[in-house]
Amino acid sequence: MAVVTADMVAELSATGASCRLDETATPRFSVGDHIVVRNINPPGHTRMPRYVRGKRGVVQRDHGVFIFPDTNAHAQGEKPQHVYSVRFTPSELWGGDASDRDSIYIDMWDDYMDLQG
């Protein structure tokens, strides 16, 4: 596993240190798909915000294939998969008193979502 040292930070910050992969992986979702975020509580690292677990959204964009941070952070491999921009309404996330004039967009990996059934 690679270790980032203090003398590497400036270069990584300047270049962006992207986790995008030049690999093919079959996308599980398409733009317009209605999804539900899995209500899981994995031990250790995850990039899935708690406030979206179990919530419904709509896929707006496929960003391409990236390293899955949940496995990579625990030295369990890169597990390449698609990342999507998913739109949520404020009322879906925070209840009926929230205004639906706006939208919240959250980037989500394949493993965080299922098709809404």
Query: What's the pLDDT tens digit per position in 1-10?
Result: 467 778 877 7
Contact (CB, 8 A) for 86 and 106: yes
Task: Decide if 30 is inside a domain.
Answer: yes
- The parent domain of residue 48 ranges over 20-115
The helix/strand/coil state of 17 is coil
Task: Decide if 7 is inside a domain.
Answer: no
The string of pLDDT tens digits covering residues 41-89 is 888 878 899 999 999 999 999 999 998 888 877 788 888 999 999 999 9
Task: Decide if 54 is inside a domain.
Answer: yes
Task: Decide if 61 is inside a domain.
Answer: yes
Chain centre to alpha carbon of residue 26: 16
Q: Whole-structure pTM over 0.85, yes or no?
A: no
Task: Decide if 80 is inside a domain.
Answer: yes
* Domains held by the chain: number: 1
Task: Decide if 1 is inside a domain.
Answer: no
Q: Tokens 């509580």: give the residue.
A: 41
Task: Decide if 4 is inside a domain.
Answer: no
Task: Decide if 63 is inside a domain.
Answer: yes
User: In what helix (H) or strand (E) does residue 115 lie, and over which residues does it extend?
Assistant: strand 113-115
Let me know the angle formed at the C-alpha of 115 by 65 and 23, rounded to the nearest 5 degrees.
15
CATH number at residue 32: 2.30.30.50
